Amino acid sequence: MTETEKMTKFERKALKMRQAQAEYREAFREQKKQERKAQDCQKYMMGGCVLKYFPEGLNAFDFDEQEMNRIIACAFSLKDVKNMINTVMKERPEPDAENGGEEVAYDEADINENETEGEDDSEGEKA
Protein backbone atom coordinates (compact mmCIF):
# COMPACT_ATOMS: atom_id res chain seq x y z
CA MET A 1 0.00 0.00 0.00
CA THR A 2 1.14 3.54 -0.76
CA GLU A 3 1.23 6.36 1.73
CA THR A 4 -1.96 7.97 0.39
CA GLU A 5 -3.86 4.68 0.53
CA LYS A 6 -2.95 4.35 4.20
CA MET A 7 -4.39 7.79 4.97
CA THR A 8 -7.86 8.00 6.32
CA LYS A 9 -10.55 9.78 4.39
CA PHE A 10 -10.35 12.67 6.84
CA GLU A 11 -6.59 13.03 6.37
CA ARG A 12 -6.96 13.04 2.57
CA LYS A 13 -9.61 15.77 2.78
CA ALA A 14 -7.43 17.79 5.18
CA LEU A 15 -4.49 17.49 2.78
CA LYS A 16 -6.63 18.65 -0.15
CA MET A 17 -7.88 21.56 1.93
CA ARG A 18 -4.32 22.66 2.82
CA GLN A 19 -3.31 22.41 -0.84
CA ALA A 20 -6.34 24.47 -1.89
CA GLN A 21 -5.53 27.08 0.76
CA ALA A 22 -1.95 27.29 -0.47
CA GLU A 23 -3.15 27.76 -4.06
CA TYR A 24 -5.59 30.44 -2.90
CA ARG A 25 -2.87 32.31 -1.00
CA GLU A 26 -0.58 32.16 -4.03
CA ALA A 27 -3.34 33.48 -6.32
CA PHE A 28 -4.11 36.22 -3.78
CA ARG A 29 -0.42 37.23 -3.63
CA GLU A 30 -0.25 37.32 -7.44
CA GLN A 31 -3.36 39.51 -7.59
CA LYS A 32 -1.88 41.89 -4.99
CA LYS A 33 1.38 42.00 -6.95
CA GLN A 34 -0.48 42.98 -10.12
CA GLU A 35 -2.47 45.66 -8.25
CA ARG A 36 0.72 47.09 -6.72
CA LYS A 37 2.36 47.13 -10.14
CA ALA A 38 -0.58 49.07 -11.62
CA GLN A 39 -0.58 51.48 -8.67
CA ASP A 40 3.17 52.00 -8.96
CA CYS A 41 2.81 52.83 -12.66
CA GLN A 42 0.14 55.38 -11.74
CA LYS A 43 2.38 56.87 -9.03
CA TYR A 44 5.32 57.23 -11.41
CA MET A 45 3.09 58.84 -14.04
CA MET A 46 1.63 61.28 -11.50
CA GLY A 47 5.09 62.14 -10.17
CA GLY A 48 6.29 62.72 -13.72
CA CYS A 49 3.39 65.08 -14.35
CA VAL A 50 4.24 67.09 -11.24
CA LEU A 51 7.90 67.32 -12.26
CA LYS A 52 7.04 68.16 -15.86
CA TYR A 53 4.87 71.14 -15.00
CA PHE A 54 6.80 72.39 -11.99
CA PRO A 55 8.00 75.98 -12.45
CA GLU A 56 11.38 76.34 -14.13
CA GLY A 57 14.24 76.90 -11.72
CA LEU A 58 12.55 74.92 -8.94
CA ASN A 59 12.85 71.24 -8.27
CA ALA A 60 9.91 69.28 -6.85
CA PHE A 61 12.36 67.13 -4.89
CA ASP A 62 13.37 70.16 -2.81
CA PHE A 63 9.97 70.12 -1.07
CA ASP A 64 8.79 67.70 1.58
CA GLU A 65 5.39 65.98 1.52
CA GLN A 66 3.54 68.63 3.54
CA GLU A 67 4.86 71.43 1.37
CA MET A 68 3.92 69.57 -1.82
CA ASN A 69 0.44 68.89 -0.42
CA ARG A 70 -0.03 72.61 0.23
CA ILE A 71 1.21 73.56 -3.26
CA ILE A 72 -0.98 70.99 -5.03
CA ALA A 73 -4.04 71.77 -2.88
CA CYS A 74 -3.67 75.44 -3.76
CA ALA A 75 -3.30 74.67 -7.46
CA PHE A 76 -6.36 72.41 -7.48
CA SER A 77 -8.46 75.04 -5.71
CA LEU A 78 -8.12 77.45 -8.64
CA LYS A 79 -11.27 77.91 -10.72
CA ASP A 80 -9.43 77.34 -14.02
CA VAL A 81 -8.08 74.00 -12.80
CA LYS A 82 -11.52 72.87 -11.62
CA ASN A 83 -13.00 73.82 -14.99
CA MET A 84 -10.27 71.91 -16.82
CA ILE A 85 -10.90 68.82 -14.67
CA ASN A 86 -14.61 68.99 -15.50
CA THR A 87 -13.84 69.42 -19.20
CA VAL A 88 -11.50 66.43 -19.23
CA MET A 89 -14.06 64.32 -17.38
CA LYS A 90 -16.76 65.22 -19.92
CA GLU A 91 -14.47 64.38 -22.85
CA ARG A 92 -13.57 60.99 -21.37
CA PRO A 93 -15.08 58.09 -23.35
CA GLU A 94 -17.70 55.92 -21.67
CA PRO A 95 -16.26 52.77 -20.04
CA ASP A 96 -18.88 50.62 -21.84
CA ALA A 97 -17.55 51.64 -25.25
CA GLU A 98 -13.91 51.03 -24.33
CA ASN A 99 -13.84 47.61 -22.73
CA GLY A 100 -17.19 45.93 -23.02
CA GLY A 101 -18.71 47.34 -19.84
CA GLU A 102 -15.94 46.41 -17.43
CA GLU A 103 -15.05 49.16 -15.01
CA VAL A 104 -11.33 49.89 -14.99
CA ALA A 105 -10.90 52.53 -12.30
CA TYR A 106 -10.28 51.47 -8.71
CA ASP A 107 -12.77 52.46 -6.08
CA GLU A 108 -11.07 54.41 -3.29
CA ALA A 109 -12.61 52.12 -0.67
CA ASP A 110 -11.19 49.08 -2.47
CA ILE A 111 -7.71 50.60 -2.52
CA ASN A 112 -7.83 51.40 1.20
CA GLU A 113 -9.14 47.91 1.96
CA ASN A 114 -6.41 46.31 -0.14
CA GLU A 115 -3.69 48.21 1.71
CA THR A 116 -4.79 46.74 5.02
CA GLU A 117 -5.02 43.14 3.78
CA GLY A 118 -2.24 40.79 2.80
CA GLU A 119 1.40 41.67 2.84
CA ASP A 120 2.94 44.68 4.54
CA ASP A 121 3.72 47.67 2.34
CA SER A 122 7.22 48.62 3.45
CA GLU A 123 7.16 52.04 1.85
CA GLY A 124 4.70 53.37 4.43
CA GLU A 125 2.82 55.54 1.98
CA LYS A 126 0.05 57.86 3.09
CA ALA A 127 -2.99 58.55 0.94
pLDDT (tens digit per residue) in 33-67: 999 999 988 888 888 888 888 888 888 888 888 99
Domain identity same for 2 and 49: yes
Q: 3-state class of 57 per DSSP?
A: coil
Domain identity same for 3 and 45: yes
Any domain includes 106:
no
> Domain range spanning residue 75?
56-92
Task: Tally the residues of the chain.
Answer: 127
Domain identity same for 46 and 70: no
**pLDDT digit string (tens) for 55-105?**
888 888 888 889 988 988 998 899 998 999 899 999 988 876 555 555 444
Domain identity same for 46 and 81: no
- Return d(Cα 27, Cα 34) in angstroms, integer: 11
Domain identity same for 32 and 71: no
Global pTM reads: 0.46
Total of domains in the chain: 2
Domain identity same for 17 and 64: no
